[in-house]
């Protein structure tokens, strides 16, 4: 069964940092492009960024609101995707979803909640 399990969410103060993880199973992780999508409380979906598979150059692209603050990386040996979030703002409060990515997002994890508050 294809599965994505996010972890690492929590409460952090503005200006703080957090690293989210996404453990993948049931498919060949190294052959998959991946992305992060977030959803603020009571709001719609917002694409955060995506990372290509290493054989396609492995580069990451980000949405403007997180560019320069967030970094997506992957460890194919551990089948894990990461989202390093620095200089967090209150508006980053959201559920963060890890997804497989083919342009559209076909498999989604259940999400992990990040709350940025003083």
Applying CB under 8 A, the residues found at the interface with another protein are 37, 44-47, 50, 61-64, 97, 102-111
Measured between alpha carbons, how far is 40 from 92 in angstroms, rounded to an integer? 8
- Comparing CB distances to another protein, the nearer of 54 and 102 is 102
Residue 78, both tokens: 């551990």
CB of 44 to another protein, least distance (A): 5
Residue 69, both tokens: 């603050």
- Comparing CB distances to another protein, the nearer of 23 and 107 is 107
DSSP state of 27: S
Residue 48, both tokens: 């955060």
| Closest C-alpha to 29, from 100, 115, 110 | 100
CB of 13 to another protein, least distance (A): 27
CB of 29 to another protein, least distance (A): 19
- Comparing CB distances to another protein, the nearer of 13 and 89 is 89
């Amino acid at each position: 069964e294809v599965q994505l399990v996010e972890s690492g969410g929590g409460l952090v103060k503005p200006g703080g940092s957090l690293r989210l993880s996404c453990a993948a199973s049931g498919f060949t992780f190294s052959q998959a492009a991946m992305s992060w999508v977030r959803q603020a409380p009571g709001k719609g979906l917002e694409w955060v960024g995506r990372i290509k598979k290493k054989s396609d150059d492995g580069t990451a692209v980000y949405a403007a609101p997180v560019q320069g603050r967030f970094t997506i990386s992957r460890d194919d040996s551990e089948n894990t995707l990461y989202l390093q979030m620095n200089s967090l703002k209150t508006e980053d409060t959201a559920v963060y979803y890890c997804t497989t990515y083919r342009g559209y997002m076909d498999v989604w994890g259940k999400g992990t909640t990040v709350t940025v508050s003083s």
